[in-house]
Amino acid sequence: MALVTILTLIGLCVAVVCGLAIGPTSIGTQRILGSVLSRVGIGHSTLTSLQYSVVWQLRAPRLVLGLLAGAMLSVAGGTYQGVFRNPLADPYLLGVAAGAGLGATFAIMDIGNGTYTPTWTPLLAFAGAMVAVAVTWIIGGRGLRSNASTLILAGVAVSALLTSMQTFLQQQASAQSIARVYIWLLGSLASASWSSVDLVLPYVLVCTTICVLAGRALDVMSVGEDESRSLGVPVRRVRFIVIGASSLGTAAIVSAVGLIGFVGIIVPHIVRLLVGTSYRRILPISVAFGAAFLVFADTIARTVIAPSELPLGVVTALVGAPVFVLILSLRKQLVR
C-alpha cells in the first residue's frame, strides 16, 4: 500500500510536469519550474511574455482542469462500484451522461442554431445531468426506499429515453451541427480556462471529500444491504449521500469538459488490482491515480497529431485498456 501510494504520488508529480512542459511551443522544463517557483515567491521567472501566457493561460488551467476531472471521475466511479456492488458501474450509470448530452445538444442546436457552441452549453449540460439523476432517483423506487438494482434499472431507462430524445434532436440538424455536438460529447480539455476551473473546483473538492470519507461505509456494505444494516449502517442514507455527491461532482465535470469515457470505470479497477478490495484504500488512491492518468492522456491527446487534437475519450480508452490488461496479467503472475 505504502509503495503504491508513493509511486502514485510520483506519477502525479511527473504528470503535472508533463502537463506544463510538453506542447507544440517548446519551453524548457527548468524555466517552467522557475516560473512556478517564482509564483510562490522563490526566485524569478525567465519566461518571455508569450511563453508566460502559454504556460499560465493555456497549459496550467488545462492541467488543473484535467487533474480535477480525472480525480472526480475516478473517485465517483469507485464509489458507484462500491455502492452498487457492481464492477461495471461508472459515474454515468444513473443518467448523468445522457442528461448532459441532451442538455448540450439542446444548447448547441437550439440556442447556437448548430453554428457555434454557446456559453450556455455547460449550464444546460449540468442541468440536464442533474435532472436525469433526480428523475432516476424518483422513479427508481421512491428514492430512499429503493434498492440498488432498481436504481440501476431506472438509470438505464432514463438514459435510454434521454439518448433517444437527443438522437431525435440531432436528426433535425445539419451535418455541421451534428459534428459540433459529437466533438462536445467526446470530451476535451481544449477550452479549459481559469474560469472553468473556478466553476468546478468547489464541487470537486466537496464531492471528492465525501466520496473518500465513504470508504469505510462502502467496505461494510460489501456484505450486502441486509447484513450491513444489521451491522449498524444506515444503508439508504449512505447511498443517498454518496450517489448524490458522485453525481453532483460528475455533472460539474461533464459540464466543463464533456463526456470523457473509460476513466471512471478503469481507474478504480486498476487501483483495486494494486491495493486490494478495501474502499478505504481504493478511493483516495483513485483520486491521485485518476488525476495523473487523465493528465497523461490529455498530454498524448494534444501532442500526437499536433496542432490538431485526438478526442480525449479515445485516448483514455487506448491507454487505459492496455494498462489494465498489463496490470491484470502481472497480478496473475504474482498470485501464482
Residues near other proteins, by CB under 8 A: 213-214, 216-217, 219-220, 222-224, 226-227, 229-235, 238, 276-278
**Residue from 286, 315, 81, 91 nearest 187 by CA:** 315
Residues near 114 by Cβ (< 8 Å), separated by ≥ 6? 108, 173, 174, 176, 177, 178, 180
Least distance between other proteins and beta carbon 245 (Å): 14
Helix (H) or strand (E) holding 134: helix 121-139
Least distance between other proteins and beta carbon 208 (Å): 16
Least distance between other proteins and beta carbon 5 (Å): 17
Residues near 171 by Cβ (< 8 Å), separated by ≥ 6? none
**In this complex, which beta carbon is closest to other proteins, that of residue 165 or of residue 241?**
241
**In this complex, which beta carbon is closest to other proteins, that of residue 226 or of residue 305?**
226
CA R_g for the chain: 20
Least distance between other proteins and beta carbon 281 (Å): 11
Least distance between other proteins and beta carbon 215 (Å): 9
Least distance between other proteins and beta carbon 229 (Å): 6
A 10 A CB-CB count for 193 gives 14
**In this complex, which beta carbon is closest to other proteins, that of residue 208 or of residue 255?**
208
Least distance between other proteins and beta carbon 207 (Å): 17
A 10 A CB-CB count for 130 gives 20
259 dihedral zone (left: phi>0; alpha: psi -120 to 50; beta)? beta
**In this complex, which beta carbon is closest to other proteins, that of residue 150 or of residue 278?**
278
**In this complex, which beta carbon is closest to other proteins, that of residue 238 or of residue 318?**
238
3-state helix, strand, coil in the chain (%, to 5): 75, 0, 25
CA torsion sign, 24 to 25 to 27 to 32? Answer: negative
**In this complex, which beta carbon is closest to other proteins, that of residue 27 or of residue 218?**
218
By the 8 A CB rule, do 244 and 39 touch? Answer: no
**In this complex, which beta carbon is closest to other proteins, that of residue 159 or of residue 246?**
246
Q: b vs e for 56-65, b when ≥16 Cβ sit within 10 Å of the residue's Cβ?
A: beebbbbbbb
